[in-house]
């Protein structure tokens, strides 16, 4: 039995869901998201509660059960509060600024990096050393944050680079004479 899959998903007020076949569409104040589940699970809508049930006891059905429930819960969270990743730039001269809809990063290269923000995602730079990525799709928010971080990953000797706000960088000791 899946501990996660057994829990029903409560839809917050202001959020409506519609199930047609294996597809669930969730509408909320921030937008609309949909998810198509596999054939191994059933999605049942009872008022403002969504329940996911496996079709049988096969290993694949049990795997899809918890994953589908998590995806439905993320749809409900995304259209109400949204998802957010915070990045911080650590290093001398490392800066971030918005240039129209694009993010301009100064990361110690001979040129400035211009990062084009995809549709559905909002990126802001409240301070020169902070970048905030927000959106209603958790996967897309994480991917955009990872792509920004990839330009200058944190290194273990000085700790310079782009890191997540709550990330701990394991520091190494340098060479000794």
How far is CA 72 from each of CA 21, 50, 52, 66, 90, rounded to the nearest angstrom? Answer: 15, 8, 9, 10, 36
d(CA 142, CA 140): 5
CA-based nearest residue to 163, from 88, 102, 110, 99: 88
Q: How far apart are the first and last CA of the chain?
A: 58
Residue 151: pLDDT band with limits 50, 70, 90: very high
Q: Is the pLDDT of residue 1 over 80?
A: no
Residue 174: pLDDT band with limits 50, 70, 90: confident
Q: What predicted TM-score, i.e. pTM, was given to this entire model?
A: 0.88
Contact 164, 85 (CB under 8 A): yes
Q: What is the pLDDT of residues 122-132, one digit of tens each?
A: 999 999 999 99
Q: What are the residue ranges spanned by the domains of the chain?
A: 3-80, 83-164
Q: What is the pLDDT of residue 111?
A: 95
Q: What is the pLDDT of residues 14-59, one digit of tens each?
A: 999 999 999 999 999 999 999 999 999 999 999 899 999 999 999 9
> CATH homologous superfamily of domain 3-80?
Ribosomal protein L6 (3.90.930.12)
Does this chain's domain 3-80 share its CATH topology with 83-164? yes
Q: What is the pLDDT of residues 60-97, one digit of tens each?
A: 999 999 999 999 999 999 999 999 999 999 999 999 99
Beta bridge pairs of residue 86: 132
CATH no. of 83-164: 3.90.930.12
Q: What is the pLDDT of residue 128?
A: 95
Q: What is the pLDDT of residue 176?
A: 86
């Amino acid at each position: 039995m899946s501990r996660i899959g057994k829990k029903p998903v409560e839809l917050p007020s202001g959020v409506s869901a519609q199930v047609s076949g294996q597809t669930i569409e969730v509408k909320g104040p921030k937008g609309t998201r949909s998810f198509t589940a596999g054939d191994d699970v059933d999605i049942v809508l009872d008022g403002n509660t969504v329940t996911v049930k496996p079709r049988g006891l096969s290993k694949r059905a049990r795997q899809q059960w918890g994953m589908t429930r998590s995806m439905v819960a993320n749809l409900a969270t995304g259209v109400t509060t949204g998802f957010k990743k915070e990045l911080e730039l650590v290093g001398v001269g490392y800066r971030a600024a918005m240039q129209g809809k694009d993010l301009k990063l100064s990361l110690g290269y001979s040129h400035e990096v211009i990062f084009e923000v995809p549709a559905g995602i909002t990126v802001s730079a409240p301070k020169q050393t902070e970048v905030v990525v927000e959106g209603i799709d958790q996967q897309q928010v994480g991917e955009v944050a990872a792509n920004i971080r990839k330009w200058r990953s944190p290194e273990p000797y000085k700790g310079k680079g782009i890191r997540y706000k709550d990330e701990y960088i394991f520091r190494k000791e340098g060479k000794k004479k």
